[in-house]
Amino acid sequence: MDELTSVFIQEGREQLTAMESGLLRLEQEPGDADNINCIFRAAHTIKGSSGVIECHFIESFMHKVENVLDRLRNGEISVSAELTGLLLRCCDHLGRLMEVLEAQAAEPGPDIAAAGEALLAELAAYLAPPATSAAGEPAEPDPETEVPDDAVLADSWHISLRFGPTVLRNGMDPLAFLYYLATQGNILAIETIPDAMPTAADMDPEACYLGFEVRFQSRGTKADIERVFDFVRDDCQLRILPPHSKLAEYLKLIGELPEDSMRLGEILVRCGALTQAELDRGLNAQQSAPPAPEDGEAAPAGPRLGEILVEQKAVSREVVEAAAVKQAQINEKKAVEARLIRVQADKLDQLIDLVGELVIAGASANLLAQRSGQTELVESTSILSRLVENIRDSALQLRMVQIGETFNRFNRVVRDVSKELDKEIDLFISGAETELDKSVVEKIGDPLMHLVRNCMDHGIEPARLRAERGKPARGRVELNAYHDSGSIVIEVKDDGGGLPRDKILKKAVERGLVQPTQALSDTEIINLIWEPGFSTADQVTNLSGRGVGLDVVRRNILSLRGNVDVASREGEGTAFTIRLPLTLAIIDGFLVGVGKSAYVIPLDMVNECMELEDDARDRDFVNLRGEVLPFVRLRHVFEIDGAAPARENVVVVQYAGHKAGIVVDQLMGEFQTVIKPLSTIFRHLHGIGGSTILGSGEVALILDVQALLQRNTRDEEKEMGGGNGQRSLQPS
């Protein structure tokens, strides 16, 4: 049951996400019947699965939610903002109930239980029958207490079920599925099929030999019935015939089942699926049909089931052809789903760790081969290095996920916050298919949440003020993601009032961050919002203050070896740009040497290499094809003793559209880098992004290029006695 519960929680949360997304779309498109059906199916699946694992506090709660959704899809109640808001709060409560189940608690705590009772009371208002009309018409019956209408439920389904021999070994109880099926409708008749039961001597006590033929009444669809058996679909054979199925379909079912045809026919008669006359007529027709072809022979031409239905005028030919196309699409989708497997995240992490060790071992073997001078050994290790690189790329690809799942969470945030602020705000998402490492996705959610809430709270103006400024009444928040130079860029934009330059400067002077007479550019003033605790908000709200906590946002992004920039124009809006590495595990690096030390520069940031000209040794920039290129000397940054060699090299790097140079002693070539995090005692060290182990066993530091260059810029400005450390590396 522990394994079943784990599967339920994982799949239940997926259904919960689908349900919440559907409810958000429902507010925009209340007449979309397909969307309403999708929401109902998600709720029904959660309720059904919770019944299978015997989690009654989820099952009973979702039963009420499902009843409301059933009335909604039947047109008995209409879509409203109040209803969608209530159902979204039910989604939140369901998430908390799943956390209770995951914590292996028997029942929810008193606070959660009280919140659930309050929601059920609100749901009851949508289940109550309408009042009697003025004309004296009777009120509509309550679905909870309504006696099924025989005319409606007279249409019954036939279910043929054969459990596989491994069902019991997998912890499943066949009878539990039948008990749950009974809660979804009425079981009119059931026949047990023990034909697969072997003799006592040959019987395996752990194997299942049971089969059932069931006559079932329900208002549900075929998909609803199939979902009852979701947890055992791979371990059973399930065949479902809809109400009013033709005789040919029952005969086809008899032919597909392994038991004796006459015995099966008698069982179908006892179940009420067929009359004895229909059975006799059908079996006689089969006996007079042409014999089945031998192996290798072509099957005789004959009418297919669809042709039979057309001949009996049960359906039109167009319907049959459309159904065939639809079935082909379903089969294709199922084939794709069958190729997908679920893998626990910790197993992937272990795989990445092993691949990292393989990369280090491969680098060591390659180094030894180079030193040996044996041509065959060098060629062999070269092939090995290429295979290791392919394995590395494939392993890292397993952890790549689309950022769209993270972006989609903000649909709910924008809806709730905009209603709380009494603002009209739309969220626009682009680049949702952009992929990055799972570990990065998990850690970027909170910083994005803070930035989005800031945009809504203090970026977007009230509708009245927007109208005065000639803007649309509805504000706009944008989330965008794309790849650039081996990194992923995430943009958070709003079309609000922008950052108030004068107000920021005034606050900075009051706090002593800058001097009153100090001349700062607009960019330098805007970047003051990253200072700890800096805020221009006149009143701190429970949502955010523009600048409150932004130092934490930046620190969290820097911990991911990323960076964040802000650009703003008053009256037009603000844009935050986050730049992150694609992965935190293994990268391609460019190995350089200074003195006896080795350093790694991320290869994606390297543009080119050049020799440092003699006339540039006494200055901090070079002429790069008519462009002034500032550079930093690693020998000075790390205070490495000894004189510089006669020949130094400049590695030209690029980040966020800016270029700079790094002066080193040696260029040692490309290198597969396994990133090893530094100890927490180095957490305040800027310019170093981690460490790695070389093939020789020595440790090399991985450079955080942007932080290193920014630090060098601040140090130079301090030496000159001015500036606040915000000057750009680009020369003016």
Query: Cα dihedral sign for 663, 667, 670, 673?
Result: negative
**pLDDT at residue 713 above 60?**
no
pLDDT at 676: 76
Average pLDDT of span 124-143: 56
Average pLDDT of span 73-100: 91
Of the chain, the percentage scoring pLDDT greater than 90 comes to: 14
Kindly report which listed range (17-31, 263-277, 451-465, 512-526) carries the lowest average pLDDT score.
263-277
**487 or 23, which is more confident?**
23
pLDDT at 490: 93
**pLDDT at residue 150 above 60?**
no
184 φ, ψ (degrees, to nearest 5): -100, 0
What's the CA gap between 29 and 38, in Å, rounded?
14
**pLDDT at residue 143 above 60?**
no
Under 8 Å CB-to-CB from 636, ≥6 apart: which residues?
A: none
**pLDDT at residue 722 above 70?**
no
What's the CA gap between 571 and 393, in Å, rounded?
45
**728 or 307, which is more confident?**
307
Average pLDDT of span 580-605: 84
What's the CA gap between 687 and 712, in Å, rounded?
9
**Confidence class for position 113, pLDDT limits 50, 70, 90:** very high
Helical segments of 312-374, H only: 317-338, 345-372
**pLDDT at residue 305 above 80?**
no
What's the CA gap between 500 and 261, in Å, rounded?
83
What is 586-719's CATH topology? OB fold (Dihydrolipoamide Acetyltransferase, E2P) (2.40.50)
The tokens for 483 are: 């790849």
246 φ, ψ (degrees, to nearest 5): -75, 160
Q: Are strands 621-624 and 627-633 parallel, antiparallel or unpaired?
A: antiparallel
Task: Point out which residues pair with 576 in neighbouring strands.
Answer: 492, 566
pLDDT at 133: 41
Average pLDDT of span 566-578: 90
pLDDT tens track for 358-404: 888 888 888 889 888 899 999 999 898 889 888 888 888 888 888 98
Are the beta carbons of 561 and 585 closer than 8 angstroms?
A: no
**pLDDT at residue 61 above 70?**
yes
**414 or 281, which is more confident?**
414
484 φ, ψ (degrees, to nearest 5): -155, 120
**419 or 291, which is more confident?**
419
DSSP-derived 3-state class of residue 695 = coil
pLDDT at 269: 76
**271 or 253, which is more confident?**
253
Domain with residues 401-581, CATH architecture: 2-Layer Sandwich (3.30)
What is 150-284+309-334's CATH topology? Alpha-Beta Plaits (3.30.70)
**pLDDT at residue 154 above 50?**
no
pLDDT tens track for 358-367: 888 888 888 8
Query: Cα dihedral sign for 461, 463, 465, 469?
Result: positive
Domain-by-domain residue ranges, the chain?
Answer: 2-127, 150-284+309-334, 345-399, 401-581, 586-719
**pLDDT at residue 318 above 90?**
no
**Confidence class for position 546, pLDDT limits 50, 70, 90:** very low
pLDDT at 137: 47
pLDDT tens track for 286-296: 555 444 444 44
Mean pLDDT computed over every residue of the chain: 79
Kindly report which listed range (271-285, 368-382, 404-418, 650-664) carries the lowest average pLDDT score.
271-285
pLDDT at 712: 56
Average pLDDT of span 217-223: 82
What dihedral angle (degrees, nearest 10) is formed by the CA atoms of 352, 354, 358, 360? Answer: 80
Average pLDDT of span 418-446: 88
pLDDT tens track for 453-492: 888 988 899 988 999 889 999 999 999 999 876 678 999 9
Kindly report which listed range (51-55, 59-63, 456-460, 565-569) carries the lowest average pLDDT score.
51-55
The tokens for 80 are: 């409203």
**pLDDT at residue 728 above 50?**
no
What is 345-399's CATH topology? Helix Hairpins (1.10.287)
Query: Cα dihedral sign for 105, 110, 111, 117?
Result: positive
**pLDDT at residue 298 above 50?**
no
Pick among 2.60.120.330, 1.10.357.10, 3.50.30.60, 1.20.120.160: CATH of 2-127: 1.20.120.160
Average pLDDT of span 675-692: 74
Kindly report which listed range (181-190, 288-297, 407-416) carries the lowest average pLDDT score.
288-297
pLDDT at 120: 92
**pLDDT at residue 585 above 80?**
no
Largest Cα separation within the chain, whole Å, is 107
**pLDDT at residue 50 above 80?**
yes
345-399 and 586-719 share one CATH topology? no
**716 or 183, which is more confident?**
183
Q: Is the pTM of this model over 0.95?
A: no
Of the chain, the percentage scoring pLDDT greater than 70 comes to: 80
pLDDT at 97: 93
**pLDDT at residue 717 above 60?**
no
**Confidence class for position 541, pLDDT limits 50, 70, 90:** low
pLDDT at 122: 92
**Confidence class for position 279, pLDDT limits 50, 70, 90:** low
**pLDDT at residue 428 above 90?**
yes
